[in-house]
Amino acid sequence: MFLMGSQGPTGYSITNSARFNGTSDYLSKTLTTSATTSGSVWVKRSKLGATSPIFDNKVYFTSGDALYAFGLTSTALYRDPSAWYHIFWNGTGVYVNGTLVTGTGTYTAASVTNPRLGFDGTNYFSGYMSDFAFWNGSSASLQGGAADANGVWAAKRPSAGYSFLAFGSSGALGTDTSGNGNNWTVSGSPVQTVDTPTNNYATYNAVYPGVSGLTNGNMTCTGTARATFDAIRQNSYWEVTASTTGVTSGTVNDAGTASTVSVPNGSTYGFRITTAGVLDYTTNGSSWTNIATVSGQAYPYSTGGTTTVNFGATTLVNSVPATYAKPCTANLPAVSIKKPSDHFNVVLAAGASIKSSSEALYTYFFEWIKDRANSNNHQLIDTVRGASAVLQSNSTGAETTYSAPSGSSVGWVWNAGSAASSNTAGSVASQVSVNAAAGFSVVTWTHTTSGNYTVGHGLGATPKLIIEKGRNAVLGWGVYHPALTAGNRLILNSTSAQVAGYWNGAPTSTTIPYLTTMASNGDTMVAYCFAEIPGYSKFGSYVGNGSTDGPFVYCGFRPRWIMVRGATASGAGSWRIYDTSRDTYNVEANPLYAESSVAEKANDASGFNLIDVTANGFKIRSSASGSETNASGATYIFAAFAEYPFGGSNVAPSPAR
């Protein structure tokens, strides 16, 4: 079923937007009187790395993807084309997604006599705009958005000002619906769409590495492009029109394996895929031919020529087949975790209070504390072992006591769900504190050397990340991840390569298999186990390309926390940890290192190992030189937890970052 849009915090649903082509489209208004203005608009970017005016020459994205507003240039970079930004300005400042923008220069409100929307006299806006509210001669309070019950900055109907453009009339996009009759003049041919801040549609992905030649709101591409959505998450339908020879279209997965069919020049083909991966195409909307049955991810994909894709934000050639839907956030499956902070959160506090602040979040927990300002050990604590028993991720040492950090600190905290209880699913009994809804459990047991054995983890799903450690002995930390060579582990307290001889096979939905040689008889052990939950957690891998236009990793959510580690069998590298509480805007440049006691590393190695967080994943922004996140041809594993789901039928879409 196709849904017109999900609702914001007050039940508000936006129906339309206008798509600006970046070459000739804009709106303008001649004012009889001019004074200091305020404005609210939602925008979805298309062309990055180019001056892109929003409100005349007063508010625009710079060629470096910062935001300029009335003399102020943001420190933050806004280069997430997967979703919508809310921008508001008044007499005192400019806000993005409800946050006051800071940077260089001085914000000085000024009057505008003949304002233009999407044009500054030289440059044109490329992308989408929705819900433009304009106040002339007044400094309005923050309008157009609000945080909903899940903490997502979502659309909210602004109060009536001088004019309000809802873009609801396709033949008169400048119509003022405020009731004041202050219509705007349309220049060029902006296109009405149903891609809106309350129902975000797929486009081609402008931050996919190597993509070029994107135009038409990232709907047209000359060359290779893939979409911003994983179409296999729902029964999806879309259309591709070829305007040159040599075009093939279909889907591609994260490994780069494409399943395609040739689309002749001048033809429009429809594509559909089921959640089981059955990919078909049609030339006429009625008869279907199978292309393949794909597994893993399925991003709509085109290569070999010029194509225009239509995900349904404008009129389709064919009808959407029964039981299929257009790829938009309102049609994504309902997420099981609407508010990720109920299960994982980040705390920033002074060292003296970081432990109590972190432990106040959940009754049963696993907390990971690090002094950001000083070279002090990581401290990992959970309620199964006891809140006074500390293990250190940068050390092989046994449990020790807590030592309050001396500087500003961070706490990463997972909700463990319940008190520990006995689990006999394995051949060796364990104590398990489990939050199955969030795919997380804390497991303790006693190691035996009487033979290889299994331990129950309580998740009811196969873990994709296991971090374990001996509690009473000097032992390294073992890390399981399915992208590693079978049976191998990485060591959390080390930068060394993969090590064999630890796991006796792969984990199952009930147990973890251990080799008898992995510890000494009677050693007490702990494991932190994570299973993947769509819209909340993701554990995967990517291959570096050695470019500042690095890999893009689709998560299906806006990450709150990311840990990246090189996994090539013969390679080495640090465990870099990023979070959006310490780095509140892009670029993420201040990692901490799980294997090292060093303080937070500002601007990691002078610009190496940089990451952009987006509404649907993250983008590597580092070149090969000095990089431990993007060496060409190297494999990296990652773990990520959500700040907000990308979308779903029961949540507001994540805003762009």
Residue 625: per-residue pLDDT: 56
Average pLDDT score over the chain: 94
Helix (H) or strand (E) run with residue 420 in it: none
Residue range 173-197, pLDDT digits in tens: 999 999 999 999 999 999 999 999 9
Structure tokens at 246: 């040599």
For 219, residues 6+ apart whose C-beta sits below 8 A from its C-beta are: 203, 204, 308, 309, 310
Superfamily of domain 214-331: SPRY domain (2.60.120.920)
Contact between 246 and 308 under an 8 Å Cβ cutoff? The reply is: no
| Most confidently predicted of 99-108, 544-553, 562-571, 614-623 | 99-108
Residue range 31-68, pLDDT digits in tens: 987 777 899 999 999 999 999 999 999 999 999 999 99
CA distance 486 to 504: 9
Burial (CB count within 10 angstroms: exposed 0-12, middle 13-18, buried 19+), residue 318 = middle
582 alpha carbon, distance to own chain's centre: 16
Domain with CATH 2.60.120.200 in the chain: 17-191
Domain with CATH 2.60.120.920 in the chain: 214-331
CA distance 232 to 216: 25
CA distance 334 to 329: 10
Measured on CA atoms in the order 619, 145, 132, 90, is the torsion positive or negative? negative
Strand-pairing partners, residue 421, are 432
pLDDT band for 246, please (50, 70, 90 cuts): very high
pLDDT band for 624, please (50, 70, 90 cuts): low
CATH topology of domain 17-191: Jelly Rolls (2.60.120)
pLDDT band for 231, please (50, 70, 90 cuts): very high
How close are the terminal C-alpha atoms of the chain, in Å?
29
Burial (CB count within 10 angstroms: exposed 0-12, middle 13-18, buried 19+), residue 112 = buried
Say whether the peptide bond before residue 587 is cis (omega within 30 degrees of 0).
Answer: yes
Q: Is residue 50 classed as helix, strand or coil in its secondary structure?
A: coil
